[in-house]
Amino acid sequence: MSQSPNSVNVDQDVEVLMRDGCSLQADVYRPAQAPEELPVLVLRTPYDRRVTNQTVMAPAEWYASQGFIVVCQDARGRFASDGEFDPFTNEALDGHDTVEWAARLGGSTGEVGLYGASYAGYNQLLTAVTRPPSLKAIAPVISGSDLASEWIYPSGVLNLNFVVWWSAFLGLDMAKRSGDDEHFQALAAIVADPTAALALSPSAVEPLMKLPFYRRFIGAEVDDDWWSENRVLSRISSIDVPTILVGGWYDVFNEGSIAAFRQLAETSDEHRLLIGPWCHVPWSAYMGDLSYGGQAWGNVVDHAVAGFFRYHLKGEGKPSESPVSYFTIFDNVWAEADQWPPGGTIPRRWFLGSEGLANSAGGDGTLTEEPSAGDSPDYFVYDPAGPVPSLGGFSCCFEEVAPLGPRDQRPIEARRDVLVYTTEPLDELLLAGPGYVDVWISTRAVSADYLVRLCVVEEEESINISEGIVSLSEEEIAETGDNGLQLRISLRNIAAKVRTGSRLRLHITGGSFPAFPINPQTGGTSPDGQPSPPAPASHTVYHDETRPSHLELTILPIGDEASNAGFRRIGI
């Protein structure tokens, strides 16, 4: 046993046997000056237990210093643990067995909590569904709740940048364990700079195609049972322990955290939701082109998670009476509510309009609260050879390899293949919830993607706060009638203050690369089975009396009429 300077003792390389005999390795942290018995917190990770989640959360020693025994374990087939790694496949049962092992540790009260971020958050949900008897609370952080619709295929479109980089990152340890140095070096090159790999068709990235789970992710191998077995949201009602879910407005998995909380909140008032202004990684008061102020640092999460466990595992302290705490962007304050979206919210619509030339921010596109009767449609040509680049947004995992966060969109808005619709200066607004865009389109493309992006414009700077995408197949486009095809594109949840004099702005375009793959606009495959060669195509957006394309957002009224359950400023 080693003792660190902060008086936390560590037992390293502790063996934990699974029901099938597989040996997983863990380190156990204990406060040096501890009472006779303490509850146990368990973090299970594929990213090296010695590092734990320090890119976002406090080290294991800090959690131990808060009065817990802490177990950090390498997942099956990762780093020091035996077995074969297949993302998520064994986490439910391995997590169950580890919880019950932890409950029997010397000095344990027998009560166990699970914590951790990203993968280490999702595997908590998989474990909790199995209902280990000793599990009493969980804290899934930036983890979402559905692998298919959040991790890999948000809105049904491959999460390209994330899937390519993350698969290569996971593959590094697998290649190292197998002794394949050539494969290791090829994957390391993708991790360092995924640009070349992203330019290829996903199935043409040879180092990644050697990874079975990558082939499953991109659909090269169909495994419907795997997807259903590892999908938590459809089984979320099986979770019967208090849960605190943590997300970030620019985190790629935030929609899943909200969806899980909304379902769990129907079963118990012990569940909590905390959403900061962050990307997936890191959690900073400075993100992209915004500064959020001193209250936005990520240690907010550690204090909230530790306090949650102190209450549910030790009976100490008192949880917040409001189950939802969230950060309001541009106002730079924390608020609390009794539900999400907050009580008292109302829908508000803005209708698209133009004189037929909404191309770029220099065009004539408008957003008004009254629909136009006889507007001309807008046209843009999208060329897959020169796709609209991703600038900021909702990806994973580090700024060096992925476009993420709030960024000034003026370089995007200068392009003619981006339709831009803007309101007049507005009175103060509070956005708090999801939104959507109803848009009527037609196209000469065989297949197509449509991406919408919501921005707040202050003076000249245009900051992205939400987006959504849909992908249309050849069959769907073929069904387009004379009046075009009506699409409803969901926008991500957001809490943001639109200050007096600011404007809302909406983009409509044909994609965002490398956040999403480039749609060739020529269908999926050619007659010989090869990927279809890309080709430019024109697209039409209608907004008239019979086709009232519009933006709808969730608004929280400001002032005396606002519900107390909807917005209460708090200090964190």
User: What CATH number should be reported for the domain holding residue 435?
Assistant: 2.60.120.260
Q: What domain count does the chain have?
A: 3
Instruction: Tell me the β-bridge partners of 46.
Output: none
Residues 30 and 105 in one domain: yes
Nearest to 290 by CA among 256, 262, 331: 331
DSSP state of 444: S
Q: What angle do CA 34, 40, 45 make, to 5 degrees?
A: 125
Identify the bridge partners of residue 461 per DSSP, sorted by sequence position.
Answer: 458
pLDDT at 572: 64
In a domain, 415, yes or no: yes
Dihedral sign (CA 516, 260, 329, 401): negative
* Torsion sign (Cα): 398, 404, 407, 413: positive
CATH of the domain at 277: 3.40.50.1820
| Residues 192 and 46 grouped into a single domain | no
User: What are the residues whose beta carbons fall under 8 Å from the beta carbon of 99, sequence distance 6 or more?
Assistant: 42, 112, 114, 127, 132, 134, 135
For position 4, what pLDDT does the model report?
53
539 & 405 share domain: yes
Domain boundary (168, 196, 217) is at 217
Q: Which DSSP letter does residue 539 get?
A: E
* Cβ–Cβ < 8 Å for 188, 172: yes
117 falls within a domain: yes
- CA–CA separation, 213 and 91 (whole Å): 15
406 with 395: CB under 8 angstroms?
A: no
Query: In whole angstroms, what is the distance from residue 252 CA to residue 257 CA?
Result: 10
**Cα–Cα distance, 457 to 132 (Å, whole number):** 49
Measured in whole angstroms, how far is the alpha carbon of residue 365 from the centre of its chain? Answer: 30
Question: Is there a single domain that holds both residue 132 and residue 183?
Answer: no
The answer as to whether 376 is a domain residue is yes
Residue 336 lies in a domain: no
Whole-angstrom distance, CA of residue 280 vs CA of residue 56? 9
Q: Is residue 565 part of a domain?
A: no
Write the DSSP symbol of residue 75.
P
Listed as ranges, residues in the chain with pLDDT below 70 are 1-6, 525-531, 559-572
84 token code pair: 């074969």
- Calculate the CA dihedral of residues 564, 565, 566, 569 and round it to 10 degrees: 60
Domain that holds residue 180: 159-217
Q: Which DSSP category does 294 fall into?
A: G
Q: Residue 213 and residue 168: Cα distance in Å, rounded?
A: 11
341 preceded by a cis bond (ω within 30 of 0): yes
Cα(193)–Cα(79) distance, rounded to whole angstroms? 23
Tokens of 211: 């990874």
Exposure string for 90-105, b = 16+ CB within 10 A, e = fewer = bbbbbbbbbbbbbbeb
**pLDDT reported for residue 54:** 72
Phi, psi for 59 (deg, rounded to 5): -60, 160
Assess contact for 511 and 415: CB atoms under 8 A: no
Using a cut of 0.85, tell me whether the model's pTM lies above it.
yes
| 251 neighbors 280 (Cβ within 8 angstroms) | yes
Q: At which of 192, 217, 242 does a domain end?
A: 217
Helices (H) and strands (E) in the chain, counts: 13, 25
Scan for tokens 């999801």, then name that residue. Answer: 434
User: Distance between CA atoms of 465 and 393, rounded to whole angstroms?
Assistant: 8
In a domain, 560, yes or no: no
Which amino acid appears at position 264 of this protein? L
Q: Same domain, yes or no, for 422 and 490?
A: yes
Q: Which of 387, 393, 419, 391 is nearest to 521 (CA)?
A: 387
Residue 478: Cβ within 10 Å count: 9
Query: Would residue 374 count as lying in a domain?
Result: yes
d(CA 190, CA 198): 9
Please state, in angstroms and rounded to a whole number, the distance separating the CA atoms of residues 6 and 63: 12
3-state secondary structure of 226: helix
Three-class SS state of 464? strand
Q: Tell me, what's the pLDDT at 568?
A: 66
Do 331 and 324 touch, CB atoms closer than 8 A? no
Residue 423 and residue 499 in one domain: yes
134 contacts 111 by C-beta, under 8 angstroms: yes
Of the candidates 545, 448, 555, the one whose C-alpha atom is nearest the C-alpha of residue 496 is: 555
Same domain, 183 and 84: no
| Type and span of the H or E element at 438 | strand 429-443
Q: What local confidence, expressed as pLDDT, does residue 6 receive?
A: 58
Are 138 and 25 within one domain?
yes
Same domain, 501 and 384: yes
CA-closest candidate to residue 72, choices 125, 115, 9: 115
Per-residue pLDDT, 564 = 47
Residue 154 lies in a domain: no
Residues 58 and 163 in one domain: no
Whether residues 429 and 508 fall in one domain: yes
Q: Residue 155: which region, alpha, beta or left (left: phi > 0; alpha: psi -120 to 50)? A: left
| Cis previous bond, 514, omega within 30 | yes
pLDDT value of residue 464: 98
* Shared-domain flag, residues 204 and 277: no
How remote is the C-alpha of 330 from its chain's centroid?
21
List 484's β-bridge partners, or say none.
481
